[in-house]
Structure 1
């Protein structure tokens, strides 16, 4: 993108999808998987496509969404009802979606469709035998409307289970235009320029970055953007699945690059200790609050929601962002996340569930939420005019234009014990690295030790 843009705003509930289920929840999930994995895989349902008469049927749906997000998704469900005659119900699961679903299956009251944010959870659900494959009609619609990478992320062991309906753009650096103007810097077009600008900002009297080190997941996102750009998509895929070890030289190189930032105390608001005491919402406030303590905060498009809702910033005017810049001559990274619709085999209405997921694969369904705001769609058939303003259109376009180079959040692909548990695994090791970034090789070795345990190697 050539001009400064910002993503669609997101409600506070967007933050729920960056939380993984707790250790206790993971234990319940493992118990539930063991109890149900003995069932045979069901054959996929068949259907005549969206628009068929489903009057008298009800589709139960579950997901983490609440508040504004749920209100907007309800508009999508209402459109499905109008088109097919099928009623829908929605249950908010809380952040521990896996635990919720496991308990519902054990209790014999499984929902028909679940919106799953963590790729690793989707894979565990599929390999447990919980999910129904999406049928040929859904498959054809998804193939026509989505880049292949999105279908691939919904596929487990060669079977298509998950349709990605909502996406996040996690390669954006948000900044205060007042701070940039005061220091005389412009948005960086390379990582090297980003660090140069950071030093210029620090020299002007304001630390460059507010880093949310208290939330380990933000540090994984820093690493993933640098690694994707430096090492490239193929190496990213191999590391995400532990096909290569975390002691690979490419990992050490990325950690070294990240460590150069973390070791510059003057570039971080409060230094490393201050960053480790800062959670994600607070990091946004340090840039966009009434008394700014930093000029920039790196995170996804959901930063805009907090800057606007909590601090009264006008997005596109006094809260702007630029794309995470390319590192060492690599391509600009586009790291994403998303919510995939899956069908539970133990739900009561598999046929109507297939038709709902088929509807979610259409640009008509995506356009409903796009018009309401707080939404990015990976559906390439969606006309960008469906979004309510030009800058959101450009943000969505950047996600679509990335095509098959988009990569899913790596930590969300990992087992929760490594990539999604507070105080453990990758989160804790990268927090330790923020505290002392002097030995990238030792950090890589620590990451490999924990990854090997989690992946069962």
Structure 2
């Protein structure tokens, strides 16, 4: 999952978080880091992750709260997108960080198989068993050992829309995928295209496919395909591509048609709905869409923009596809005791509420106080994520080897871009996906 994929924007309604007093400008609950015994005075931990910009600043508030609580000093190291390469070089150089925030299930598994990771403490494990849906522990475990604590999550089953655009077209948020396309046609008839699609960024197309596939084929098939236990030529894949292809083939529904979509990157797709000169009524992507709309175009969640859950396809269940960043402890870190204490802190509702108050954050922790989130839209999305329980499924392409699921201009990204360009042969596209998947999984 790239930094762009996770996004660097926020939904913040606050401009500051006063940790020492435990108050937020949003009027949320006290999110205090007080009450610690300073047991880690004099110790320092290094935390590495992909975050930069606003995300890094907000995570620093969590680090500062941990320092206030325990006395431990912290240092954050931004790795950029290539986490595994950077961490590997630091381990080889004898300068391994103590904690890494890992943005992909596949990378976490890679670290575990290289024997880089220390299992998490029983205290952390107990917190996850109590406060998280079991699926999150499964995604953080390898070979029966629990290595990864999912601290920050993304909800990637949200369709964002302009309330004014839907009102002018006389349509309401749809309850089914077929209804969404029908409503989109009504919107197109009113003068705007229905959807802005970020085809220039292949990862957005994988997210479209994954939501359709999870709803249409069901979670069991989704898990099998994610692990390459069934082939991409399976009839369920062809069926999902056929469903997606109907949208891609309809030039009235997509802003600029296929050619326009292929020249639109993710931020541009948000601009086409919420920018100064709207071209579309809706854009599908994760909860982070709202951050871009707010920060770049001054749109306020709940008034200027809203969302509806990605609708169920052909009688299936509405999908909940997620992503997230898991905290892991490296064996070669210099301060494992403090690192384990840090993860115990991250597993607490208290730590999550620090960032929730700052915005641009969702927690899988069911005990996080909803009032900690800065606006009703964030609260609604967070509730949707935790209410989904074990039906949540992690982004499929992030579970795959990077050569297939995470490389620009190659693998799934490139094949789905070609499918957007010409969606006439879903079966042939499935064959190309299987060829690419087989090579990457064998590698």
Q: Same fold (TM over 0.5)?
A: yes
Counterpart of 2:365 in 1: which secondary structure?
coil
What residue in structure 1 maps to residue 160 of structure 2?
Answer: 174
CA RMSD of aligned residues (A): 1.5
Return the TM-score normalized by structure 1. Answer: 0.88
Which of 268, 282, 286 is matched with 1:296 structurally? 282
Stretches of structure 2 lacking an aligned partner (at least 5 in a row): 9-35
Asked if residue 310 in structure 1 is aligned to residue 299 in structure 2, the reply is no
Asked if residue 15 in structure 1 is aligned to residue 4 in structure 2, the reply is yes
What residue in structure 2 maps to residue 61 of structure 1?
Answer: 47
Is the CA contact (8 Å cut-off) linking 1:14 and 1:302 kept in structure 2?
Answer: no
Which of 97, 111, 119 is matched with 2:105 structurally? 119
Counterpart of 1:267 in 2: which secondary structure?
coil
- Large movers: runs of 4+ above 4 Å: none
What residue in structure 2 maps to residue 84 of structure 1?
Answer: 70
What residue in structure 1 maps to residue 89 of structure 2?
Answer: 103
Counterpart of 1:174 in 2: which secondary structure?
strand
Is the CA contact (8 Å cut-off) linking 1:418 and 1:426 kept in structure 2?
Answer: yes
Which of 420, 430, 433 is matched with 1:447 structurally? 433
Asked if residue 189 in structure 1 is aligned to residue 168 in structure 2, the reply is no
Asked if residue 375 in structure 1 is aligned to residue 364 in structure 2, the reply is no
Query: Displacement of 1:103 after TM fit?
Result: 1.3
Counterpart of 2:88 in 1: which secondary structure?
helix
Asked if residue 407 in structure 1 is aligned to residue 393 in structure 2, the reply is yes
Query: Displacement of 1:14 after TM fit?
Result: 5.7
Which of 130, 143, 146 is matched with 1:160 structurally? 146
Show CA shifts across 1:18-50 (max 9, x none): 79xxxxxxxxxxxxxxxxxxxxxxxxxxxxxx8
Query: Displacement of 1:389 after TM fit?
Result: 2.5
Stretches of structure 1 lacking an aligned partner (at least 5 in a row): 1-12, 20-49
What residue in structure 1 maps to residue 20 of structure 2?
Answer: none
Which of 215, 218, 223 is matched with 2:209 structurally? 223
Is the CA contact (8 Å cut-off) linking 2:6 and 2:154 kept in structure 1?
Answer: no
Show CA shifts across 1:216-270 (max 9, x none): 0000000000000011111101100001110111111100000010111111111
> Number of residue pairs matched?
415
Counterpart of 2:297 in 1: which secondary structure?
coil
Which of 395, 400, 411 is matched with 1:425 structurally? 411
Higher mean C-alpha displacement, 411-420 vs 170-179: 170-179
Is the CA contact (8 Å cut-off) linking 1:166 and 1:339 kept in structure 2?
Answer: yes
Which of 302, 307, 310 is matched with 1:321 structurally? 307
Matches of 1:197 and 1:348, distance apart in 2:
57
Return the TM-score normalized by structure 2. Answer: 0.91
What residue in structure 2 maps to residue 210 of structure 1?
Answer: 196
